[in-house]
Amino acid sequence: MRISLLLLLVVVLNGCTVLDPHNIVGRVKTPGTQSTMAVPEMNDGNWKREAFEDVWGTVNDKYYDAKLNGVDWQAVRTKYEPQIFGAGDDDRYWELLDKMTGELRDSHTRVHGPKQVAQQRDMEAHSLGLGFLEMGDALVVNSAHPESDPWWAGVRPGMTIKTIDGEPAMALYQRLKTQVRDSSTPLARARGALRKIVAGDPDTTISMTFVRADGTEIAATMKRRKFRTPQEFQQRVLPSGFGYIRFSNFVGSMQSDLLQAITKMKDGPGMIVDLRNNGGGSLGMANALATKFLSAPQKGARLLTRTGKPVTIAFIPTMKMQTELKGNALSAYDKPLVILTNENSASASEIFASTLQDLGRATVIGQRSCGCLLGYLGYADLAGGGQLAYSELGFITPKGKRIEGEGVKPDVEIKLAREDILFSRDRVLEAAERFLQERIDTQPALQTTGKNG
């Protein structure tokens, strides 16, 4: 009986905007998966028109900010519609449709074409397996996958990229930054330029020249390949005695392991949560993790919605407009805490870091985060096999700060240098351990002062 009633509720909600105004039940919750809704067969013109209208109309009617970040959305339509329907192939069609949503300057509102949907479903990346950073007037390699063509060509972190397909690398990169879709911050937009260079269909090739630290060069023509992108999770007690946790995303399947890891290291004198390159994920998991570090109930981030009202299903709020973090002295880790961030720390990483920073519970060390903090409630299927994510939630930190477009500013900023990459030196982690040790060394004096005061 319970199952039958649940199925009936799902059917009703799928067809009722009053009971499910955000269409939460009928939407795909994770990227790369397809809903059970059937997509009707149609010719190219029909599916392209339907997908375009769904994207433009959904953003127009459902975006969390009724003013659409100050963007004239009708003018955006006028600008992009002829380009999108004049696209020479399907890949270009999806790219332009995504670029149209980029006019909102919002990294969370985006369109994925069928190829991206399939990659996310299969937990794959189609790329060179190469990462780099803009540092001064050079592009510096900061990673090379051990199964990639660059690695086997002899490319190592710390080298610089001199040319790409015969063109000066920096000139090409700067040009691409002006051509890719806009995003929440220049940091986020720069990632789009990087993807333009390294990502692509498997077996497509690119030629690059790299420069070693001694000035000698490597020239290679390399293929893009398929790489697995599984979730990553590390926890350990460092030789310094401090607990250390690092994970790739805020996904529900990791929550239990993370909470258990904190409990396991509860007797340690200090802990480091490393969110560098953590792209975010579940808001619920971010709040659950933050709660683990609070000894008493606290008010967390405040939500922003288009209507100013909570998100509901069947008139029941699914989340409160003011986050309540139910800290508990018996289960909390209450020793000194450091959170590490960099320009790729985004979304749920930023709500976690900014909340604990605002509450005075954690010290943030590293680089300013992405500034990509809005929320969506799942992916909407589009005709033609694509998917749309659109921001339905904004966030204000406990102290009233907007992180979207700004990023979390570290309490202790550590600027990276090429030498750090070249010699595999992690100065951010070093600074975190040094900070924690100084806190421990001064703790007895602080306690004495408190008693005398």
Q: Answer yes or no: is 9 within a domain.
A: no
Q: Is the pTM of this model over 0.85?
A: yes
pLDDT at 313: 76
Check whether residue 270 and residue 196 sit in a common domain. no
pLDDT at 34: 62
Q: Answer yes or no: is 1 within a domain.
A: no
Q: Which parts of the chain register pLDDT below 70?
A: 1-30, 34-45, 314-315, 444-453
Query: What does the H/E/C string look like for 19-79?
Result: CCCCCCCCCECCCCCCCCCCCCCCCHHHHHHHHHHHHHHHHHHHCCCCCHHHCCHHHHHHH
Q: For position 222, which CATH number holds? A: 2.30.42.10
Distance of CA 107 to the CA centre of its chain: 9
pLDDT at 22: 66
pLDDT at 18: 59
Q: How many domains does the chain have?
A: 3
Q: Of 228, 254, 283, at which residue does a domain stop?
A: 228
Check whether residue 32 and residue 94 sit in a common domain. yes
- % of the chain beyond a pLDDT of 90: 83
Q: Of 96, 121, 146, at which residue does a domain stop?
A: 121
Q: Answer yes or no: is 450 within a domain.
A: no
pLDDT at 316: 75
Q: Name the DSSP class of 280.
A: -
Q: Answer yes or no: is 287 within a domain.
A: yes
Q: How far apart are CA 360 and CA 405, in angstroms?
A: 23
Q: Answer yes or no: is 157 within a domain.
A: yes
pLDDT in tens, 244-274: 999 999 998 999 999 999 999 999 999 999 9
Q: Of 179, 207, 228, at which residue does a domain stop?
A: 228
Domain that holds residue 255: 233-374+392-444
Check whether residue 220 and residue 249 sit in a common domain. no
Check whether residue 104 and residue 131 sit in a common domain. no
